[in-house]
A and B are shown apart, each in its own frame.
Chain A
């Protein structure tokens, strides 16, 4: 189920602007990889190329290869819609569908793709996904209330439930805790630890403690200056990155000597 991801000489553009240049990285299945780096270095941009969400923006393009297991998702015959149903994404700001109930939010991935199922099966999926997202106990009595009526942290976990409900192979998370309080953050971090058993997870974070708590490997991105493209500077085991990084730039960043 869980798949590896490999980027080969990946360049990412917004129109003519080269935002991320020459990324080569291989992410193993069933691991958690954290992306860290200063603001504007292209973490979000690169993350969004991994499920072809990048090209949703007008003028945004990608050059190079991105292999999901062995298949290049930028191959000419590949349908981006199919890629996205295999590579789930959790956004920085919680974005449950406001007009849907909590239950329908969890089932949104199936409904969207026109998959029909019986009441019993749907109930099972809802319960399994909400339990998987550590949200079941808090919402089990109000599944028919709108998803927008939950707290921010609950909404974010609802979004995670929605993502894992469709059993993707990879889950991408873009600063999933940046809008959450410490307790909800901890809940999401615990969750990431559990999800790792089934999914490959890539998480962008500005919180170094979080990176060291949740990830197996860490990728450090950096940018030489405004208008310059972001680059992957170093990719290694998280322990190594935070204790004994190879690159000077990485060390400067994690010790707070950056900029």
Chain B
């Protein structure tokens, strides 16, 4: 009772304050305030239009410069195939590298995020969180150098072992690169690169799980892991999918690291040897010397990458909205 009356008194006093104080200043610079509103609305509208114009401009540029190569015959291009024959191995290489990266990075990222949010004592979880965030600040060219000179060679013994023992699976062998500069190395470097973003986004989501639902699970006799499955994952699912897609987007478009790590070549199933390439790496490597139709061809490859990322994003949205009804937002 007493708190109730106190509560209403507080409400009353704030109400009266609101009524007595603000009107004076409001009426004084009302005109200026309305002017400010208009200016701000104008700026917002302008910015929105500008973004659309830039996007349309980029798309138009890509299309205009890409069309000649897409329509050109193999003879004109100076190779045995049309543009599509040229680009599909690159698409496959890009998808393989990003796919491996995401498959490797996702469980690790979710594991680390969960450890930080629900298992580690506070003393440990905070520095660990900072460290993961720091990983995101490393420039990709540094990742590339690290992958090419340190991480790749480090993986060679494993490649040798795989080539010897697992070469019945076509992607492992039978030959392997003694320098370790393979698509698999590039994929793993990509995995390390997207780890921080997926981890820190997932960690934030896991931490936001309502205590209410965590306790509901615990009170039903759930262990910590069972609680995580019942309360934390369902709550974070849509967000984690978005995080993974962000990571995938970064992996698809990553140029420098792949260019430096990978010793490029034609498409091959063997991931342990040199060969394969990705669209961004191919463009970065060849664009400086390209002109005419060759340049157009590389731009068309860029257009293909643009479409792939667009499709990935749309897929992500579709997945996220599928869970909307059960998201707890209603």
Contacts and interface: CB of A to CB of B under 8 A. Distances in A.
A53 B129 CA distance: 27
A112 B221 contact: yes
Interface of B: 1-3, 122, 210, 212-213, 215-223, 226-227, 229-231, 234-235, 237, 323, 325-328, 330
A58 interface: yes
A56 B326 contact: no
Given A53-B215, A148-B330, A99 B235 contact: yes
28 contacts: A81-B222, A81-B223, A84-B218, A84-B219, A89-B219, A91-B212, A91-B215, A91-B216, A91-B219, A93-B212, A95-B210, A95-B213, A96-B216, A98-B326, A99-B234, A99-B237, A99-B323, A100-B234, A112-B226, A112-B229, A114-B226, A146-B325, A146-B326, A146-B330, A148-B330, A159-B216, A166-B221, A256-B1
Given A51-B219, A96-B216, A97-B234, 11 more contacts: A82-B221, A84-B220, A88-B219, A91-B219, A95-B213, A95-B216, A98-B213, A98-B235, A100-B326, A108-B217, A114-B226
Contacts of A149: 330
Contact of B215 (A95, A100, A113): A95
Contacts of A96: 216
A245 B227 CA distance: 43
Contacts of A166: 220-221
What 8 A-B pairs come out closest when comparing CB atoms?
A85-B221, A98-B328, A99-B234, A89-B219, A95-B212, A112-B222, A109-B220, A99-B326
Q: Interface on chain B toward A: helix, strand, loop, or mixed SS?
A: helix
Contacts of B1: 256
A177 B60 CA distance: 62
A127 B136 CA distance: 51
A58 B221 contact: no
Nearest to B216: A95
Contacts, number: 89
B212 A113 contact: no
Interface string A77-115: 000011011101101010111111000000011011110
How extensive is the interface on chain A, given as a class? 35 or more
A246 interface: no
B93 to A, nearest CB: 38
A85 B220 contact: yes
Contacts of B227: 112
Contacts of B226: 112-114
B21 to A, nearest CB: 32
Nearest to B326: A99
A92 B219 CA distance: 13
B201 to A, nearest CB: 19
A240 B2 CA distance: 26
Contacts of A53: 215, 218-219
B215 A58 contact: no
B218 A56 contact: yes
A111 B220 CA distance: 10
A114 B225 CA distance: 12
B327 A98 contact: yes
Listed residue (B1, B223, B327) with the most chain A CB atoms within 10 angstroms of its CB: B223
B328 A112 contact: no
A151 interface: no
Interface string A248-259: 000000001001
A112 B215 contact: no
A219 B330 CA distance: 38
Interface string A39-67: 10000000000010100101000000000
A32 B312 CA distance: 57
Nearest to B323: A99
